[in-house]
Amino acid sequence: MPNRLIGETSPYLLQHAQNPVDWYPWGEEAFNRAIQEDRPVLLSIGYSACHWCHVMERESFENEYIANIMNEYFVNIKVDREERPDLDAVYMEAVQAMTGRGGWPLTVFLAPDKRPFFGGTYFPPEDRQGMPGFPKVLKMVVQAYRTRRGEVKAAADDVITHLNRSQELQRSVEPLTTEIIHAAFTRLKSEFDKRNGGLGTAPKFPQPMVFEFLLQYHYRHGNDEALAMVEHTLNNMARGGIYDQIGGGFHRYSVDDHWLVPHFEKMLYDNALLARLYLHGYQATGKPLYRRIVKETLDYVLREMQDSEGGFYSAQDADSEGVEGKYYVWTPGEIVEALGEDDGQIAIKYFGVTDQGNFEGSNILNQVIETESLTTELGLSSDEIEARIAGIKARLREKRVQRIAPHLDNKVLTDWNGLMLSILAEAALVLDREDYLQAAINNANFLLDTMLDRDVELLKHAYKDGHAKIPGYLLDHALICDGLLSLYEATFDPRWLNAARKLATAMISQFWDDVHGCFYDSGYRQEALVVRPRNIFDNALPSGSAMAASVLIHLARLTDSREHEKLAAAAIRSVHDFLTRYPSGFSQWLCALDLYLSQPKEIAIFGSLHDPAMKSLIKVIKQRYMPGAVIAGLSPDQSAPANGIPLLRDRDMIDNKPTAYVCESYICQTPVTDPEALLGLLD
């Protein structure tokens, strides 16, 4: 018999709708019952692609004995962390304060007033490897709640005090200088894994914001060591098992230090952030490998993660048929069966496939040899080898789609879609892919038509089955602004810029905290929690405050809005003391600071977007890595040109030819109509 989750739209909540646990969704109904019956609340938070969330469900939430304990003594609430990042942020920090660690599944025990007093993560169904069994934990919590209420209240008071203190920020009076940037680079260099790339040891997360900062550092300061750190990491990730060698796209992270064995879930945000990093790596170096990874990753997203309405789905599970990674691994026999003997042996050698395997008796495919090493052996050119490997991958993908695929979390999240909107718009011009641009336009139309509440000019956070719900958070607004600005620079269509400006205004009014000079993650429309969340750290996603600062600087440079730049600078000052101490957790902030301190190139282009000469000028610009460059354009095809862009004032085409104007450090160069001349100015 289904429980109360059966009426929800979240795929994660629906996965638990048939549990014998009397689950409630988060809401007043659950807490009213807890108050009336004086019961503690058991809050369980997870997400649909989480392997250990599935394990705990199978072991505990589908277990009649454990479910009976939960139902008899607790009010049980299940939350999808992706739908409610505010709840996840507050109660994750609470558990970390109580236990020193966090993760998912997140298990938190609350008083009826929503204040946490005990918690943990995964609990096994019985005592195991030093961990107490879940039934024992449940009984201990009930006993404490009934007989030691004063201790429970004191524990909750301590946690709330910690949470309130963690939200306080001190405005720094220290100046924002390039010395911060240099010190951050020095600290990151000390954390760099020189052997495998990336930072630290296992488990190894890609941390794309860190390497975006290093790319910017190389560009601004000519530091070749920073670029080498980026390239070493990009090369190793692209060849490792963390990258899906057959279908494209990246898995969540690697459990080892050399990118081989991933946690197999695929998240939309990881693939958007990493595709953008590889695109910028390609612009900075011209390496074909990086171009291929961008193309394969975005092609994967368009093929498997795109909704017919224009949105992008959230995630693909790590498990299929209840087994982690089963969809992705191969045996030598399966490869030969799919490809035949000749191509099968090439694939086995190229991907390092063995009889014993590298993952539970099977093989995670990873590139173990360079294609050049096959040229002599096979008597083929490098181009012929590349074509043959591409054909092998395509045939293996055709074979793989016949397997039972991992579960797809088909809800659409606004913030993650903003990331994908941005990279599609950028990649469309860099890679000359009209389908990417059309996908970006479709996505922007979907987001503005479906996710935007026109009455208040604010976004909703989640969408599924025709329903947009949950007031949008800071990161939703910041990332959609960023995506719309990228789309404006790809099309010069003023509607995207105008939409970004309106959203930025609403974002400031809804989330800005004038007392501490920074943003909150939740707005005035959101439900009031035990504390108002403000996460200043970059985690798997960039900090909402850091992205807001980045967007405001971009808008300020484009529209000459001093107020936007002033707010961005205040936000950066609020985290000043963290930037050099914890650069890996503040890399998006460092990118924003770098942009704030820089004098970026300002480029204005005039001409019809349908004119081949205009396209040639744009191609020259987009092939260059120029972080923070301000790019605006005006086409006679547009019925309503963009207003409020100083860069476009009093300028036009020269001799009726598409024309580019390049300015930097308050100095403008002679306008040019020739791509080679433009290239010279940019260099």
Cα 463 from Cα 193, distance rounded (Å): 40
pLDDT value of position 174: 83
Q: Peptide bond before 25: cis, by omega within 30 degrees of 0?
A: no
Which ranges in 447-586 belong to alpha helices (H)? 474-491, 494-511, 544-559, 562-574, 576-579
* Per-residue H/E/C for 64-87: HHHHHHHHHHCEEEEEECCCCHHH
- Nearest Cα neighbor of 479 from 461, 454, 455 is 461
pLDDT digits (tens, 9 = 90+) for 444-486: 999 999 999 988 889 999 999 999 999 999 999 999 999 999 9
- Give the CATH number, domain containing residue 648: 3.40.30
Query: What does the DSSP 8-state code read for residue 643?
Result: P
**For residues 28-56, b (16+ Cβ closer than 10 Å) or e, as one string?**
eebbeebeeeebbbbbbbbbbbbbbbbbb
pLDDT value of position 425: 98
Same domain, 373 and 356: yes
What does the chain come to in residues?
683
Same domain, 33 and 119: yes
For the chain, residues with pLDDT lower than 70 are: 639-642, 666
Quick check: is 661 in a domain? yes
pLDDT value of position 173: 76
Write out the two tokens for 529.
Answer: 């929690």
Quick check: is 541 in a domain? yes
Sequence-separated contacts (24+) of 270-275 with Cβ below 8 Å: 270/206, 270/540, 271/297, 271/300, 271/301, 271/305, 271/420, 272/301, 272/416, 272/419, 272/420, 272/422, 272/423, 273/206, 273/208, 273/209, 273/419, 274/206, 274/208, 274/237, 274/250, 275/301, 275/423, 275/427
Strand order in the sheet with 23-25: 23-25, 75-80, 41-46, 106-110, 116-120
Contact 623, 283 (CB under 8 A): yes
| Those residues with Cβ within 8 angstroms of residue 117's Cβ, 6 or more apart along the chain or in another chain | 109, 110, 111, 152, 153, 155, 156, 159
pLDDT value of position 642: 62
Contact 156, 115 (CB under 8 A): yes
Same domain, 117 and 206: no
Cα 331 from Cα 346, distance rounded (Å): 14
- Give the CATH number, domain containing residue 10: 3.40.30.10
Q: What are phi and psi of 214, to 5 degrees?
A: -65, -35
Q: Peptide bond before 105: cis, by omega within 30 degrees of 0?
A: yes
Q: Which amino acid is at 416?
A: W
Reported pTM: 0.95
Bridging pattern class, strands 630-634 and 659-664: unpaired
Write out the two tokens for 230.
Answer: 């980026």
DSSP-derived secondary structure for 312-370? BEEEE-SEETTEETTTT-B-HHHHHHHH-HHHHHHHHHHTT--SS-SBTTBB-----S-
Rg, Å, the chain Cα set: 26
Same domain, 86 and 151: yes
Same domain, 448 and 511: yes
Cα 536 from Cα 539, distance rounded (Å): 9
Q: Cα–chain-centroid distance for residue 482?
A: 13
Same domain, 630 and 584: no
Quick check: is 173 in a domain? no
Q: Is 438 helix (H, G, I), strand (E, B) or coil?
A: helix
Helix (H) or strand (E) holding 460, with range, is strand 458-464
Q: Is 159 helix (H, G, I), strand (E, B) or coil?
A: helix
Same domain, 431 and 551: yes
Quick check: is 171 in a domain? no
pLDDT value of position 374: 84
Same domain, 556 and 433: yes
Q: What are phi and psi of 454, to 5 degrees?
A: -65, -25
Contact 425, 275 (CB under 8 A): no
Q: What is the count of structural domains for the chain?
A: 4
pLDDT value of position 261: 97
- Among the candidates 597, 632, 656, a domain finishes at 597
pLDDT value of position 225: 98
Q: Is 581 helix (H, G, I), strand (E, B) or coil?
A: coil
Same domain, 582 and 552: yes
* Enclosing domain of residue 676: 602-682
pLDDT value of position 340: 96
Which ranges in 401-543 belong to alpha helices (H)? 414-430, 434-446, 474-491, 494-511
Same domain, 490 and 459: yes
pLDDT value of position 140: 97
CA 11, 15, 20, 26: dihedral to nearest 10 degrees? -30
pLDDT value of position 454: 87
| Those residues with Cβ within 8 angstroms of residue 514's Cβ, 6 or more apart along the chain or in another chain | none
Work out the widest C-alpha separation in the chain, in whole angstroms: 87
Contact 651, 585 (CB under 8 A): no
Contact 149, 38 (CB under 8 A): no
Q: Which amino acid is at 363?
A: N
Contact 533, 520 (CB under 8 A): yes
Write out the two tokens for 474.
Answer: 């800071």
Q: What angle do CA 633, 639, 645 make, to 5 degrees?
A: 35
- Among the candidates 166, 201, 219, a domain finishes at 166
Write out the two tokens for 251.
Answer: 């898995």
Cα 484 from Cα 499, distance rounded (Å): 7
- Among the candidates 597, 612, 634, a domain finishes at 597
Quick check: is 172 in a domain? no
Same domain, 487 and 633: no
Cα 145 from Cα 151, distance rounded (Å): 9
Same domain, 449 and 554: yes
pLDDT value of position 373: 83
Q: Is 278 helix (H, G, I), strand (E, B) or coil?
A: helix
- Give the CATH number, domain containing residue 251: 1.50.10.20
> For the chain, give me the number of helices (H) and strands (E)?
26, 21
Write out the two tokens for 404.
Answer: 């039972």
Quick check: is 551 in a domain? yes
Q: Is 566 helix (H, G, I), strand (E, B) or coil?
A: helix
pLDDT digits (tens, 9 = 90+) for 591-618: 999 999 998 899 999 999 889 999 999 9
